A = this chain, B = another copy of it.
Amino acid sequence: MMEVREEIDIQRRPSAGAMLQLIRHGHATTRADLAEQTGFGRSTVAQHVTALLAHKLLVEDAGPSSGGRPVTLLTFNTSAGVALAADLGATHSRVAVSDLAGSVLAETTADLEITLGPDEVLEWVNDRFEELLARAGRRPDEVRGIGIGVPGPIDFAAGCAVVPPIMPGWDGVPLPAYFADRYDAPVLVDNDVNIMALGEYFTNWRDRTEHLLFVKVGTGIGCGIVAGGRIYRGADGAAGDVGHIRVASDREVVCSCGNVNCLEAIAGGQAMARQLAEAGHHAEVSRDVVQLVRQGNVQAVQVVRQAGRVLGEVLASLVNFFNPAAIIIGGDVADADEQLLAGVREVIYSRSLPLATRHLRIARSALEDRAGVTGAAVLAIESALAPAVIDRAIADQAASA
């Protein structure tokens, strides 16, 4: 239970790892800041800062002198290692090497069918990791963490997909094992929408709120939930599966899940493409829908606008329930076009309660198609730089010295 973990955490000794967090997240820039924020004495703080400097996790620079003694500014050394990140989609994947701030140093994308199965796909990922490391001029032993996003439900603790509908052959296969003999680094696995939410939250929203929703509108529709500054996964890791929420519709549409009138069967990218194809337009996948909208096709604009309204109905309910500070819309359809967002906004502001929309921001993903790979990198970095991990690394080196 979370409470219990916190109770136990609360009793830890002064921690270099915790001080690193304060600096990384911009809450402290000097030894004096650290002393003030932690309540520990300057000599204790100085000792931990020295350890972090020795591990090259911090760098120090002379700051602007304010007339009196010069102040030394402490900065997180984002070059003290790299993260490997992969955002695996149903038919398209993106792989990157990032620094420890999550900024991409080298990346590549490819059309790749997830249905090829884990052996073939992860071999490809491994090859790309090697290539990208070389291109970025970094060594494998500089890798501090690996983050992988997959398009299906996952068991976060085990690092595997769980009965994923569009990933035959992946069920229960632990992904960390594929990387264990090549890198001495933690491997974290999450679903594609959660990593997009994490990427967007850490890059653009962390200083403004603790609670937001990231909605991905691609072939289907999914939602990543940030609550209390963390990804919320629910009791079985199934939270955020909004694509199968039933919506009102004048026609009955059977969804791939077997139920009728699920949100994604009415308003997903595939559903939009089908509607336009039925009307005689060339539209097979969600990107075709966006293409038609860009060409000024009136029917395509109407379809996307109406899908936005249907999505808005569901999100209006979730705004009343969850009261997020922001809803970020991403995925193929949203990345390319404002029409979807217009429909969403229209319904949310007319349907949700005033108290819950007073400060609500509804925005397109700023990271666009890099949200996932950025989030996968952040997932890896946050795990690799967790206070307990840093403290252990420092203690181990002190013991072996």
CA A264 to CA B194, docked complex, whole Å = 32
Closest chain-B Cβ to A186's Cβ sits at a distance in Å of 19
Closest chain-B Cβ to A44's Cβ sits at a distance in Å of 10
Closest B residue to A355 by beta carbon equals: B238
Complex contacts, A232 vs chain B, CB 8 Å: 227-228
> A270 near B: Cβ within 8 Å?
no
| Structural contact, B12 and A317, CB atoms closer than 8 A | no
CA A37 to CA B10, docked complex, whole Å = 12
| Structural contact, A15 and B11, CB atoms closer than 8 A | yes
Complex contacts, A227 vs chain B, CB 8 Å: 227-228, 232
Closest chain-B Cβ to A302's Cβ sits at a distance in Å of 22
- Render A311-336 as a binary contact track against B, CB cut-off 8 A, 1 for contact: 00110111011111100000000000
Complex contacts, A259 vs chain B, CB 8 Å: 351
Closest chain-B Cβ to A243's Cβ sits at a distance in Å of 8
CA A79 to CA B264, docked complex, whole Å = 55
Complex contacts, A360 vs chain B, CB 8 Å: 235
CA A347 to CA B9, docked complex, whole Å = 42
CA A240 to CA B6, docked complex, whole Å = 25
- Render A191-229 as a binary contact track against B, CB cut-off 8 A, 1 for contact: 000000000000000110111000000000001010111
> A353 near B: Cβ within 8 Å?
yes
Interchain CB contact (< 8 A) of A248 among B248, B325, B351: B248
CA A22 to CA B39, docked complex, whole Å = 24
| Structural contact, A8 and B241, CB atoms closer than 8 A | no
CA A18 to CA B5, docked complex, whole Å = 11
Closest B residue to A242 by beta carbon equals: B321
Closest chain-B Cβ to A281's Cβ sits at a distance in Å of 30
Most chain B beta-carbon contacts within 10 A, residue among A4, A22, A324: A4
Known: A227-B232, A246-B317, A321-B321. A257 touches B10 (CB 8 A): no
Interchain CB contact (< 8 A) of A238 among B6, B37, B353: B353
Complex contacts, A4 vs chain B, CB 8 Å: 22, 25, 27
